[in-house]
Amino acid sequence: MVGTPPQLERGTGVPAHVQIERWLLESISSGELAPGDRLPGERELAGRLGVSRMTLRQALATLERDGVLVRMPGRAGGAFVAEPRIECDLTGLTGFTEQLRRAHLRAEARILVAATVPAPAAVARALRVAPGSPVHEVARVRSARSARGRSPVALERSYFPDLPGLLDQDLTGSLYALLAGRYDLAPRTAVERLDPVIARPAEAAELGMTPGAPLMLIERTAYAAGGMPVEFARDLFRPDRVRISVRSGVTEPAGS
């Protein structure tokens, strides 16, 4: 439950809605407000802050846009503290399991598809095989588990070369670790492309979202040492649960 609201300062040049945003952010970072906590109703909270509901709504809208709050309609709705977003760094080839471990979360996988299928054209191009050649398709819903429970964050669909016995292995853990340990095909480089898309009904159902909600698509071709393609993937991430980052730098020109 949110604590005692601050006394908003007037005439400081800092708008009231910005002061409210800062107060709520501090309440969350200090642990006074935890993910899932519901804020008081707009009428009550605006009255305690001594501001109009329009000013309060401006602050709440900004925090909702930034993924700090989730606002739900209806009698049981309101403004709730969102789960913190998971940082996924595309700079290296760290798999999803390791990314979540770094965020002190446990990665879980629910397998939707594990089958040998004829390679579609795009998959065949990426894996450098003839169209229709057998490839392994693995589709999984990836979830993050914390002390507060489990929430789906991504829908992964990967295609692999026709590696013997791949589908007989445990496919609920790190597939990159499986490629490295069993087949000596650890992914070393990758080409990844990002596109914003909207959730189709089947995807939304698996990820616990509303159809038409935004998703981030990452299309990836991963290569082992020597340039052999070992995975073509199309992963869908919930942008309210995952934040994508890439580190960059400046390469000094030769002779400088």
Residue-wise pLDDT tens digits, 141-168: 998 876 566 789 999 999 999 999 999 9
Backbone angles phi, psi at 54, to 5 degrees: -65, -45
Q: What is each CA distance from 172 to 113, 142, 237, 246, in whole angstroms?
A: 12, 9, 18, 26
> Between 40 and 99, whose confidence is greater?
40
Ranking 49-53, 80-84, 95-99, 167-171 by mean pLDDT, the lowest is 95-99
The token duo for 79 is 């403004």
Arithmetic mean of pLDDT, 187-216: 93
Task: Tokens for 5, please give them.
Answer: 């609201």
What does the pLDDT look like over 82-122, one tens digit per residue? 777 777 777 666 667 777 776 667 788 999 999 999 999 99
Q: What is the C-alpha separation between 120 and 123, in angstroms, rounded?
A: 5
Give pLDDT, residue 148: 60
Q: What is the crossing angle of helices 16-29 and 53-65, to 10°? A: 50
Please report the pLDDT score of residue 92 as a whole number.
67
Q: Would you give the DSSP letter of residue 38?
A: B
Q: Is the pLDDT of residue 10 over 70?
A: yes
Q: Taking a C-beta distance cutoff of 8 angstroms, is the pair 8, 50 a contact? A: yes
One-character DSSP codes across 192-226: EEEEEEE--HHHHHHHT--TT-EEEEEEEEEEETT
- List the domains of the chain with CATH numbers: 16-81 (1.10.10.10), 86-245 (3.40.1410.10)
* Rounded Cα distance, 34 and 24, in Å: 11
Highest mean pLDDT of the ranges 30-39, 57-66, 89-98: 57-66
Q: Please say if the pLDDT value at position 224 is more than 90.
A: yes
Contact yes or no for 218/231 (Cβ under 8 A): no
